[in-house]
Amino acid sequence: MAKNWKTKLIHPEVHAPEGFRSLADPVYRGSTVVFPDAASIRESWNPYKDGYTYGVYGTPTTLELAVRVCDLERGFRTHITPGGQAAISLANLSFLKAGDHILLPENIYGPNRKFCAQVMRRFGVEVEFYPAVDPKQGAAAVAALLRENTRLVWCESPGSITMEIQDVPAIAEAAHRAGALVFIDNTWSAGVFFDAFAHGVDVSVQALTKYVGGHSDILLGAITVLDEEAYARVASTHQIVGAVASPDDCSLALRGMKTLAVRLKSVEESALTLARWLAERTEIELVLHPAFSSCPGHEFWKRDFTGSAGLFSIVFRKQFTRSQVHAFIDKLELFAIGYSWAGVTSIVMTYDLEGTSGRPDYGSRLVRLNIGLEDVEDLRRDLEQALAGLG
């Protein structure tokens, strides 16, 4: 059929030569997926079984990221979501119903806590928090709180901000004995330093925003599961919730993954160097780095982890006031002040834990450091001059 030039803008008759083989992962954007004929039309959220049917259920770019994260986490299948918190919410929504009881550690990532305490409770889920300040007591605390209707137990190791390492295998054993599932926020380990599934976890969630992305320029999340049943459960909820990740962001995450190993190695070494140096400073009471014996649950890190990331916290001695801690942060030149972590830039953040339930009494003296890829001696000198400013 002869076409008007305007029609040809939409249905072109000319194409670039095929056969371009690039080292970069292509970006496939698309809502509509074109079927070859009417007989091929089908509606399925399972692209692994039925092929592609609609952009919401996956594009080659989102699924390429999914299979690679899954391989890294040694799972069965991975779902990609538009942010780490979206992965957390979707994991909760996929497995919970009214009447279920769930347990979360007191030190879990704040928005996960809020999602459960506010949204899941509103939908009839009984939400309870277990103590995590003393990781040696964690499994016993979970065992004591398990009920007949406990559907799942969340873990996060190290816990957000205060960095306690959990005895995940013991918690998993107690939870499984009671018929409950175990979910973990495995973001700190990047799915690399902690093999969640080998330690009894059933569902592993990661904010790919952090180490996989690695450059503070995307928001993505992942839910990795161990079997077809769990995959289908998350997939059907994912479809209805419509938490779709952008293929452009996924392509950046795929690029980030290629340098994950070298970035992790570098930030691990730099963080250890700086944490060692900070531990010697008279201003610092406590270094909350999982590889240090001063970090609660360090023995579980030693037993279960294969390395450490670039995120840790320090606690100033009691004589330092909130405004002195702020002055220290303001004086830093190389550390950006902001939320999030795991990018190439060093970041600093402080948290006021005064009166917070379930956290050690660090008051307003805790500072969290994300170590980036800057020269470690420059970072040390920056910390030194900021500490000197405290007088």
Ligand X SMILES: Cc1ncc(COP(=O)(O)O)c(C=O)c1O
Among 84, 290, 363, 372, binds ligand X (CB under 6 A): 84
Q: Is 221 in the site for ligand X (CB under 6 A)?
A: yes
Least Å distance, CB 189 to ligand X, is: 10
Instruction: Identify each DSSP E strand in 181-220 by its residue range.
Output: 181-185, 203-207
Least Å distance, CB 378 to ligand X, is: 25
Least Å distance, CB 247 to ligand X, is: 17
Q: Is 224 in the site for ligand X (CB under 6 A)?
A: no
- 8-state DSSP, 105: E
Q: Is 183 in the site for ligand X (CB under 6 A)?
A: no
Alpha helix ranges (H) inside 165-246: 168-177, 228-241
Choices 79-87, 137-145, 174-182, 320-328; region in contact with ligand X by CB under 6 A:
79-87
Greatest CA separation for the chain = 83
Residues within window 99-118 making contact with ligand X, judged by CB under 6 A: 109
Residues within window 335-374 making contact with ligand X, judged by CB under 6 A: 340
Residues within window 228-287 making contact with ligand X, judged by CB under 6 A: none
Least Å distance, CB 179 to ligand X, is: 26
Q: Is 85 in the site for ligand X (CB under 6 A)?
A: yes
Phi first, then psi: what are they for 258, rounded to 5°?
-65, -25
Q: Tell me whether residue 139 or residue 347 sits nearer to ligand X (CB atom).
A: 347
CA 226 to chain centre: 18
CB burial string 87-115: b at 16+ within 10 A, e below? bbbbbbbbbbeeebbbbbbbbbbeebbeb
Choices 6-14, 81-89, 118-126, 274-282; region in contact with ligand X by CB under 6 A:
81-89
Give helix then strand counts, H and E, for the chain: 14, 12
Question: In the bound complex, which residue of the shown chain has the CB atom lying closest to ligand X?
Answer: 84
Choices 23-31, 37-45, 77-85, 369-377; region in contact with ligand X by CB under 6 A:
77-85
CB burial string 9-37: b at 16+ within 10 A, e below? eeeeeeeeeeeeeeeebebbeeeebeeee
The identity of residue 252, as a single letter, is: L
Distance CA 122, CA 129 (A): 16
Beta-strand pair 77-81/221-225: antiparallel
Q: Is 159 in the site for ligand X (CB under 6 A)?
A: no
Q: Is 290 in the site for ligand X (CB under 6 A)?
A: no
Q: Is 209 in the site for ligand X (CB under 6 A)?
A: yes
Among 64, 167, 185, 249, binds ligand X (CB under 6 A): 185
Label residue 2 exposed, middle or buried (CB < 10 Å: 0-12, 13-18, 19+). exposed
Contact positions vs ligand X (CB under 6 A):
83-85, 109, 160, 185, 187, 207, 209, 219, 221, 340
